[in-house]
Amino acid sequence: MSYSFYEVYTIALRACGSMGFPYGADEDAAFMIAWLELNNLQGIRLFARSIDDFNNKYDGKIVFNNKGNDFNLKNTSVLMKGPGIIDYYESLLKNQNIIEATISNCIDPIFFLPLLYKTSPKICFSRMIHFNSDMKMISYQIKNKIIQIGLSSSEFTIEKNQVKIILSNQENFHSSKICDQEISPESIQHNLENALKPRTVDWEKIKILAQRTYVPESEESRVKGAGGGDDND
Amino acid sequence: MLHKSPSKTYSTHMTLDRMGSRYPSRLSFSRSILRTMVKENWTINRVKFNLDKKGYGIAIYEVATPNQVYSLVCFSQYIADEDRSDRVIAEKWDTTYSLHIGTISAKDLVRLKKNVPLQEAGRNSPNELVISRANKSVRLFKKVVQCLSEGIQPDIKDINAVGYLLRTTAVYGSGKFGLSDYARTKFVTHFDQPFRAEMLAVYIIREFSVDLIEHIAYHNNPLKAVKLENHIKQHLGIGNSTGLGMAPFIIKHPKLIHKWMNQFQKTLEKINEIKNIDPLQFNEFINLLHKAQTYLNEVLTSDKYQKNKNYSTLVDLKKMIKFCNNLSQSKNQIQSWYEIIDYAEKNFNFDTQEIVRVQIVELFPSIADPLAEDMSDSEEMYIDTSQTVLSIIDLIRNKYAWAINTDFNNENNLFLFWYISEEKLEPRLGERYNEKGAELEEPLGIGKMVYDLYNFIINRSEMHKFTIAEFLLRFPQYRGVIRRIQTLSNCVYGELNDNILARNTLSINMLRFKLSFFGASRYDPKSDRWLRVSFFAGAPFYNKLSSKNVENWGFATMNSYQ
C-alpha cells in the first residue's frame, strides 16, 4: 500500500501523541519519521521497531555533563532527545564557528538526519557519522538542503553506538567527497510522485498506536455535528 | 496607515465574533481561480457523459490550461433516500468526484471507479489532487427536474430558497487519503496557491449539477424538456455542509491564516493611501452596498442567531448607505477611503464593517488582484534558540494578554475539549465535565498552553537568562508552545485571540472565517457546530465566463442576471 507524506506524518504524529510525547515533541518526532520514510530510509520501520522501548516513557530531558558539547543518550531514542540537542548546537553556533560533538549510547542515530536537514538553511554545513548495522562507518554531509551519503573515510574515531556531529558556519568548510546517494529537492519530488510505501506490518503496528488517540463520538456531538438534525434536505 | 493604533487593531481582527462576520472578497479563492481561468484562457470540455436515463453513470470534464490538462471524473449512482446524509460519516453519496492530473486513461478510470465512490475508504494516487462527493438537494432537485421535463422554468425564488442542486459534504486535497501532497501539487501543477485545485473541482461540479439535471429532464420527456435559462441557472451555486473539520485548520496553520489576513489588510492599507475619492467610484461603491443589502434581504436561514445578525446588518447597512449618500451629495470631497471604513467601525456591527471593506476592495482590482495571487506561505515553524526566556515572557505579555488574563480555574473557561472522532477521524468538540475522552484532547487550546507556560516561568527568575535552547533541554514539554509563540511573533494575524475551550465558544465563527477566504456565501448555520453555504452562487457558467463578467458576481441577487 502506498501513502502520501501527509498520511505518514499524521499517523506518526498520532502514534507519538499516544505514547506520551508532548505537543511539539510529537511534531518533531513525526517529522523525523515521515522524512526518513519519504527518503527511503525506513522511518516507519525504525519507529515500529523501537516502540516498545519508549511507549509511555517519553523522556526528552537532556542532562548536561562536563564533557563540553558531548551528550550521553543512555540508549534513549533520538526521537525524544534529538530535537533539543540540535537546537542547543544551533544556539552555540551564534558564538562559535564550528561545533564538533560526540553523542554516546545512541540507539537510532539516523533520526538526527532529518533534524540536520531541517536546520540546513540556517547552518552552512553539517556532517554526521555513525556505524550502520554492518559496522560500516556512514557519513552524511548536508549543505543547502542537499544531503550526500556514503562510506566515511577513517578521519574520525567513533565507537559503536556513537554519533559524531559537526556543524559549521564557515562557508569554505572542508567537506569530503562522498556520494553513494544524494537527497535533494529533486529526489524528494520524485519520491512524492511515487508515494511512500512503508511495510504493512510496521504500518499496522503504528496505526494501532494512533487509534489510541481517537475518542468515540458522543450523542451530543452527533446531534450538533455536520448533518445533524435536518440532514437530508 | 489604516489605523492610528495598529497593535490594537491587529488583535481585534482575530477574535471569534469578528472572524464570524467575514464575507468573501476579491481575494477569495473562488474568485481568483475564475480570474486565472479567464486570464489564461483555460478551456473546459465535457469529454465523456455516459449517464443512463436516470442520470447514473460516469462523466469526465477536461480542463486545458496552458501547460497541463486536468480531468474531473464524476460518478453518479442511485442511493435510497434513507442513505442520503450530510454527515461526514455517511458511506454512500449520489455523486462522487476526483480531480486528476492529466487525461484519464482506461486503466485510470478502472482504478478511480473502484475507489472514488468509496471516498475516505478508497485509495488515491499522487496523480489525484482532490476528491469530493455531493448529494442531491431533496428540496430542489426533483422539483427542477419536473419543471424542466414539463418544458417550464423553475421559479427563481425556489432556486433562491435552496441555492443549489447538489451539496458537497467534503472536498479533500493536500495528501489526504493518498492524494497528491501539497508540496508536490504546488511544484508540478498550476495550483501553487492554497485551495485553488479544490475550488476548480467545485466549480466543475456545479457545471455537472446542471448537465445532470438537464439530462434527466430530457430523458423524462424528450419532446417537451427544456434547458435551464441562464438567469436562473446562474443563481445556482454548489452547496456545502461544513462542520468542525474546518475549525482546527485555523489553529494548525497560523502562518497561512496570517498570510490571508495580511494580504486583505495590505489591500486596504494601499487603498487608504489614495487621496481624494473619485465621485464616480464612490457612487459605484454605494451601488455595491445596495447590492449587499439586496443579497442579505434574499438570503434565507432558519437559524435564529443568524437571522438576527442579518437583520441588524440590514439596519446598519441602510444607515451606512444614507451616510454615503449624504457624503456623495455634499460639496466637500471625501479625502480617503479610510474615512468610510472608520465611520463604519465606529458606528456599525462587525458584519456591516466587513461588507464595507470587501465592497471597497471590489473597486480596486489593480491593488487586490496581485495580492490575491500571493496567498501561499511556508508553514514551517521554528525555534529561535538564542532568544532568552525573559524575551518569551515579553512576547507573551505583548501578544497573549488575552490568554494570561483568562481565569483557567473557572470551569467555564476549560469547558470544551477538541478531539478526533473514532468513527471518522474528524475533529469534534466534547464537554470536559460531561463527556469521556478529555485525556485525549487535541492541542488546540493555545490560550491555556500559553497560560501554563507563562505561569511556569514567571516566578522562576533563575531561568530568565537561559537561552531557549538551554531551557528546552530541561523542559522539552514546552517545545510546541514556544515554537508557536516565536514563529508567530511577527505574524500579527496568526493567532486566534480567544480561548476556544470556553463554554460560550461559537465554533461556527471559525468556519465562517475560513469559508469567507474560500469565497462561500449564503451562510446558513444549522447548529453552533455546522452550517450550510454555497460556492459560486451567481458566478457565470463556463460557456458564459468572460473577462466582462468574471468579477461581477459577489453578493449575487435574483435580479443580478437581467
Cβ of A215 within 8 Å of Cβ of B422? The answer is yes
What pLDDT does B279 receive? Answer: 92
Residue B108 has pLDDT above 60, yes or no: yes
Chain B residues with beta carbon closer than 8 angstroms to that of A212: 440
Fill in the amino acid letter for B220: N
Chain B residue with the nearest C-alpha to that of A90: B385
pTM of the model: 0.95
What pLDDT does A179 receive? Answer: 76
Task: Select from A22, A214, A226 the Cβ nearest to the Cβ of B420.
Answer: A214
Chain A residues with beta carbon closer than 8 angstroms to that of B135: 232
Cβ of B470 within 8 Å of Cβ of A61? The answer is no
Residue B1 has pLDDT above 70, yes or no: no
Pick the residue of B387, B470, B472 with the most A CBs within 10 A to test the interface with A by mutation.
B472
Cβ of A87 within 8 Å of Cβ of B472? The answer is yes
Average pLDDT of the residues of chain A? 89
Q: What is the mean pLDDT of residues B184-208?
A: 96
What pLDDT does A99 receive? Answer: 93
Residue A192 has pLDDT above 50, yes or no: yes
Residue B402 has pLDDT above 90, yes or no: yes
pLDDT in tens, A117-167: 999 988 989 999 999 888 889 999 999 889 999 987 767 788 889 999 999
How far A53 CA lies from chain B's nearest CA (Å)?
Answer: 19
Chain B residue with the nearest C-alpha to that of A80: B476
Residue A229 in contact with partner chain B when CB distance is under 8 A: yes
Separation in Å, CA B507 to CA A152, B171, B514, B525: 55, 20, 11, 11
Q: What is the mean pLDDT of residues B194-212?
A: 97
Grouping H, G, I as helix, E, B as strand and the rest as coil, residue B494 is coil
Taking a C-beta distance cutoff of 8 angstroms, is the pair B525, B302 a contact? no
Residue A67 in contact with partner chain B when CB distance is under 8 A: no
Task: Select from B87, B385, B430 the Cβ nearest to the Cβ of A226.
Answer: B87
Residue A104 has pLDDT above 60, yes or no: yes
Residue A1 in contact with partner chain B when CB distance is under 8 A: yes
Residue A56 in contact with partner chain B when CB distance is under 8 A: no
Cβ of A224 within 8 Å of Cβ of B527? The answer is yes
Cβ of B243 within 8 Å of Cβ of A213? The answer is no
Q: How far apart are the C-alpha atoms of A116 and A123, rounded to whole Å?
A: 9
Residue A195 in contact with partner chain B when CB distance is under 8 A: yes
Chain B residues with beta carbon closer than 8 angstroms to that of A215: 419-422, 428, 430, 436-437, 440
Residue B201 has pLDDT above 80, yes or no: yes
Q: Are strands B43-51 and B57-64 parallel, antiparallel or unpaired?
A: antiparallel
Confidence category of residue B245, pLDDT binned at 50, 70, 90: confident
Percent of chain A having pLDDT more than 90?
Answer: 67
Q: What is the mean pLDDT of residues A46-72?
A: 84
Cβ of B86 within 8 Å of Cβ of A227? The answer is yes
A-B Cβ pairs (cutoff 8 Å, strict): 202
Cβ of A4 within 8 Å of Cβ of B244? The answer is no
Chain B residues with beta carbon closer than 8 angstroms to that of A4: 126, 175-176, 178-181
Would you list the DSSP string of B372-433? HT-----------TTSBHHHHHHHHHHH-HHHHTS-TTSGGGG-EEEEEETTTS-EEEEETT
How far A140 CA lies from chain B's nearest CA (Å)?
Answer: 23
Task: Select from B126, B428, B473 the Cβ nearest to the Cβ of A193.
Answer: B126
What pLDDT does B2 receive? Answer: 43
Q: What is the mean pLDDT of residues B543-556?
A: 95
CB count in 10 Å sphere of residue A30: 24
Task: Select from B84, B162, B425 the Cβ nearest to the Cβ of A232.
Answer: B84
Confidence category of residue B146, pLDDT binned at 50, 70, 90: very high
Residue B148 has pLDDT above 70, yes or no: yes
Residue A228 has pLDDT above 60, yes or no: no
What pLDDT does A173 receive? Answer: 65
3-state SS of B310-359? HHHHHHHHHHHHHHHHHHHHCCCCCCCHHHHHHHHHHHCCHHHHHHHHHH
Task: Select from A87, A194, A213 the Cβ nearest to the Cβ of B385.
Answer: A87
Q: What is the mean pLDDT of residues B356-372?
A: 97
Which segments of B21-153 are extended strands (E)?
Answer: 43-51, 57-64, 69-76, 95-101, 128-136
Provide the CB-side half-sphere exposure for B518 (13 A, CA).
28
Task: Select from A7, A84, A226 the Cβ nearest to the Cβ of B175.
Answer: A7
pLDDT in tens, B406-450: 999 999 999 999 999 887 788 899 999 999 999 999 999 999 999
Q: What is the mean pLDDT of residues A179-200?
A: 94
Show Cβ contacts of residue A31 under 8 Å, excluding neighbours closer than 6 positions: A9, A114, A118
Chain A residues with beta carbon closer than 8 angstroms to that of B136: none
Nearest to B54, CA basis, from B111, B122, B136, B163: B136
Question: DSSP character for B539?
Answer: P
Average pLDDT of the residues of chain B? 94
Residue B3 has pLDDT above 70, yes or no: no
- The secondary structure element, H or E, covering residue A189 is helix A185-194
What pLDDT does B338 receive? Answer: 93
Q: How far apart are the C-alpha atoms of B296 and B310, rounded to whole Å?
A: 7
Separation in Å, CA B438 to CA B89, B414, B434: 22, 11, 10
How far A61 CA lies from chain B's nearest CA (Å)?
Answer: 5
Task: Select from B243, B425, B430 the Cβ nearest to the Cβ of A226.
Answer: B243
Task: Select from A5, A62, A214 the Cβ nearest to the Cβ of B422.
Answer: A214
Taking a C-beta distance cutoff of 8 angstroms, is the pair A110, A134 a contact? no
Least confident of A215-224, B29-38, B197-206: A215-224
pLDDT in tens, A6-24: 999 999 999 999 999 999 9
pLDDT in tens, B298-352: 999 989 999 999 999 999 999 999 999 999 998 777 889 999 999 999 999 999 9
Cβ of A91 within 8 Å of Cβ of B435? The answer is no
Q: What is the mean pLDDT of residues B258-270?
A: 97
Crossing angle of helices B389-399 and B446-457, in 10° steps, is 140
How far A15 CA lies from chain B's nearest CA (Å)?
Answer: 12
Cβ of B429 within 8 Å of Cβ of A213? The answer is no
